[in-house]
């Protein structure tokens, strides 16, 4: 299961799809990708991607052409990515579950004219002026295309993808990443990881989140097997736990928030699990070492190895490497991120741009070939964040200003401290609160607002919006509640799920410091008194709740910190998060003595549906005892 030390993987300046093609020739019958009960070999995946690539070229796709990718998790998604690259283009992931206005922003900013999709989600694109290529609806015409690779001049400085991140101007910004950025990431980390064709990778993350780049290409560049984790399984630690074992996953990437729930699920079993894991790689948000204590107590720090990697979309997924050992857990109050990847340099500078000595916190500036080309059509922002004339660097080099702070210890390793600005990470997603604030300020009943994160426990970080209504709006309890409900509906239309506030606190004014800035430390705690001041999302009370509904409602309210939702209120609309849902299920299972799984909520995230699932599970257990 563990690899012997070998020479670094060298890919000879090839593009991502060219390296994949070599693996397709070398391992034609090996399974490349699987999803649920479907699987596809390297040869078949290469053939299908080639046929789609020829079709895309006939539509005008060529070198550096941006092409939308709007597909749910599936084998077709990987076919689409490879085909876009083979045609010379760069893929722009667009989550089909985004609100229509968000999709419009991404399409307009990227200016894509062609979007690769599938029939069951293509409806979200029909109102836009783009050419939609449905992979599954065009099988007959696609099958008439050549199965050989299309002819195109490949350069590893061509664009590979454009991933959009939250923007402080109110508009998301597209990060331009080249083939060479990604290829050198694997070359430069090979001596640490020794990936090869025996590895089985879990693709846990959304294709719109750059952690997926590490997962997809970590498998396909080495001839490994990529297992796409179904969306509903990503929300269910129990189902994920089973998938890791049944599929023999060897490489798992996780945000600390997600891994926290997996650890809890595993520790709940009496015996250690028969994992094939050799590496668990953390990223996306700061790692609290104390969450690893129960895992390391059970499995040690060798099988699997635990690695923390700090990174940013603009620097191609990962920047640093830190192997976590038992000895590190003794300093559980620190968040170590280790040392830079060999071809990158990290400069820690003070506010005047001068280097700070070891042991002194400084702002992180990154230099090296992992840096993105810049931001799509944002020359001013690119110049602001990608510095070209800093005295620390040579004339041709650039520095990327990360906005993060760290301290370098005597041993050369870095400890992450936090942000220098208001940017936050919520369940791995990088969010600019200002983008949410600007969106909410467009609501006619909002005068001003501020958005901050709040940790509800167990890593369940949610966004709280503090709202000052327009002067003409009265501040009675009824009007405040109406405004909250209006804003919930407004955010549902305007913002993706991970950017929607979980609660709205209505204030007469925002607290201000002596320097005229919002005093975030003076903002009221969202649930100062649970019996009186819980934030209310709905006044639709159901007075005829069943006993199960009453108990589920009590647990639901306690975890979400809200008052009396209707049994028909959607969990995610009223501010719930995936981590909060997992906490609710743990409480329900403990109370009722059952083993209900989060996956049961796929058909409806309401108290009413959850109560019915609880009753059904109780009946099943009673029947099993009788029989």
For 323, how many CA atoms within 13 A lie in the half-sphere containing its CB? 13
Tokens representing 325 are 């050992």
- Contact status, residue 501 vs residue 575, Cβ threshold 8 Å: yes
Provide the CATH topology of domain 8-190: Rossmann fold (3.40.50)
Contact 43, 53 (CB under 8 A): no
What backbone torsions phi and psi does residue 201 show, to the nearest 5 degrees?
Answer: -100, 140
* pLDDT tens for each residue of 316-346: 999 999 999 999 998 777 899 999 999 999 9
Closest CA to 289 of 262, 308, 272, 269: 308
Its CATH architecture, for the domain 431-522, is 2-Layer Sandwich (3.30)
Question: Could you give the strand order of the β-sheet that contains 461-469, starting from the edge strand earlier in sequence?
Answer: 446-455, 461-469, 503-506
Contact 204, 179 (CB under 8 A): no
Residue 471 is classified by DSSP as T
Q: Using 50 as the pLDDT threshold, list the residues of the chain that sit under it.
A: 1-2, 4-6, 8, 528-542
Q: What token pair was written down for 297?
A: 């107590």
The strand pairing partners of 516, in sequence order, are: none
Nearest 5°: the CA angle 622, 623, 625 is 65
Contacts of 193 (CB under 8 A, 6+ apart): 279
* Vertex 183 angle, CA 178 and 186, to 5°: 140
Nearest to 183 by CA among 209, 207, 218, 210: 218
Residue carrying the six token digits 């879990």: 202
Pair 393, 399: CB distance under 8 Å: yes
Other CB atoms within 10 Å distance of the CB of residue 131: 15
Q: Which of 175, 216, 208 is nearest to 312 (CA)?
A: 175
Count Cα atoms within 13 angstroms, Cβ side, for 7: 2
Q: Can the peptide bond before residue 559 be classed as cis, meaning omega within 30 degrees of 0? A: no
SS3 at position 32: strand
Closest CA to 35 of 209, 199, 234: 234
DSSP state of 365: E
pLDDT in tens, 345-402: 999 999 899 999 999 999 999 999 999 999 999 999 999 999 998 888 776 789 999 9
Asked if 179 contacts 81 with a C-beta cutoff of 8 angstroms, the reply is no
CA distance 116 to 49: 12
Which residues pair with residue 424 across a beta bridge?
A: 431
Whole-number pLDDT of residue 565: 60
Domain boundaries, the chain: 8-190, 431-522, 547-622
Chain-centre distance for alpha carbon 598: 19
Pair of tokens at residue 592: 């009722």
β-strand partners of 348: 364
Say whether 450 sits in a helix, a strand or coil.
strand
Report the predicted TM-score, pTM, of the whole model to 2 decimal places. Answer: 0.83
Residue with tokens 């008052």: 563
Q: What homologous superfamily is domain 547-622 in, according to CATH?
A: ACP-like (1.10.1200.10)
Return the closest-CA partner of residue 452 out of 404, 501, 509, 490: 501
Helical (H) or strand (E) element with 418: strand 414-419
In angstroms, the Cα distances linking 61 to 79, 88, 145, 157, 549 are 16, 7, 15, 17, 54
**What is the distance between the alpha carbons of residues 19 and 217, in angstroms, rounded to a whole number?**
10
pLDDT at 533: 40
């Amino acid at each position: 299961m563990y690899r012997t030390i070998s020479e670094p993987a060298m890919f000879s300046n090839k593009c991502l799809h060219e390296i994949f093609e070599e693996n397709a020739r070398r391992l034609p019958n090996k399974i490349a990708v699987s999803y649920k009960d479907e699987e596809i070999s390297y040869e078949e995946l290469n053939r299908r991607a080639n046929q789609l690539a020829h079709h895309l070229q006939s539509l005008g796709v060529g070198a550096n052409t941006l092409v939308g990718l709007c597909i749910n998790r599936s084998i077709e998604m990987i076919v689409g990515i490879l085909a876009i690259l083979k045609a010379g283009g760069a893929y722009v992931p667009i989550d089909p579950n985004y609100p229509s206005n968000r999709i419009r922003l991404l399409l307009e900013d990227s200016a894509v004219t062609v979007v690769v999709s599938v029939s069951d989600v293509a409806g979200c694109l029909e109102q836009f002026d783009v050419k939609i290529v449905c992979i599954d609806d065009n099988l007959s015409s696609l099958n008439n295309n050549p199965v050989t690779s299309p002819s195109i001049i490949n350069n590893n400085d061509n664009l590979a993808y454009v991933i959009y991140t939250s923007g402080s101007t109110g508009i998301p910004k597209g990060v331009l990443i080249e083939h060479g950025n990604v290829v050198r990431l694997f070359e430069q980390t090979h001596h640490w990881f020794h990936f090869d064709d025996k590895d089985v990778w879990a693709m846990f993350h959304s294709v719109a989140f750059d952690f997926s780049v590490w997962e997809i290409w970590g498998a396909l560049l080495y001839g490994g097997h990529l297992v796409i984790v179904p969306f509903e399984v990503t929300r269910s630690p129990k189902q994920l736990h089973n998938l890791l074992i049944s599929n023999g996953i060897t490489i798992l990437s996780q945000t600390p928030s997600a891994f926290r729930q997996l650890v809890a699920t595993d520790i709940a079993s009496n015996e250690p699990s028969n994992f094939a894991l050799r590496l668990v790689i953390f990223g996306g948000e700061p790692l609290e070492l104390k969450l690893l204590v129960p895992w390391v107590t059970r499995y040690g720090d060798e099988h699997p190895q635990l690695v923390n990697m700090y990174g940013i979309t603009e620097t191609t997924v990962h920047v640093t490497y830190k192997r976590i050992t038992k000895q590190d857990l003794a300093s559980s109050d620190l968040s170590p991120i280790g040392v830079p990847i060999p071809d990158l340099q990290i400069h820690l500078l003070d506010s005047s741009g001068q280097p700070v000595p070891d042991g002194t916190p400084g702002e992180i500036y990154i230099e090296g070939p992992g840096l993105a080309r810049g931001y799509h059509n944002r020359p001013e922002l690119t110049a602001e964040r990608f510095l070209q004339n800093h005295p620390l660097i040579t004339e041709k080099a650039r520095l990327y200003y990360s906005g993060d702070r760290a301290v370098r210890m005597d041993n050369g390793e870095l400890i992450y401290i936090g942000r220098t600005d208001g940017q936050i990470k919520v369940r791995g997603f990088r969010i600019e609160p200002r983008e949410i604030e600007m969106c909410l300020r467009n609501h006619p009943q909002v005068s001003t607002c501020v958005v901050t994160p709040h940790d509800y426990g167990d890593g369940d970080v949610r966004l709280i919006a503090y709202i000052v209504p327009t002067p003409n709006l009265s501040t009675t309890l009824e009007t405040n509640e109406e405004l909250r409900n209006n804003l919930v509906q407004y955010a549902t239309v305007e913002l993706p799920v991970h950017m929607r506030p979980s609660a709205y606190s209505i204030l007469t004014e925002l607290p201000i410091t002596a320097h005229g800035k919002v005093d975030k430390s003076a903002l009221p705690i969202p649930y100062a008194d649970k019996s009186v001041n819980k934030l209310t999302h709905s006044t639709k009370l159901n007075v005829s709740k069943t006993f199960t509904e009453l108990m589920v409602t009590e647990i639901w309210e306690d975890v979400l910190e809200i008052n009396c939702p209707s049994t028909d209120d959607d969990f995610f609309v009223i501010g719930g998060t995936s981590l909060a849902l997992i906490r609710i299920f743990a409480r329900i299972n403990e109370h009722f003595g059952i083993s209900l799984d989060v996956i049961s909520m796929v058909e409806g995230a309401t108290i009413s549906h959850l109560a019915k699932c609880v009753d059904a599970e109780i009946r099943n257990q009673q029947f099993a005892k009788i029989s």
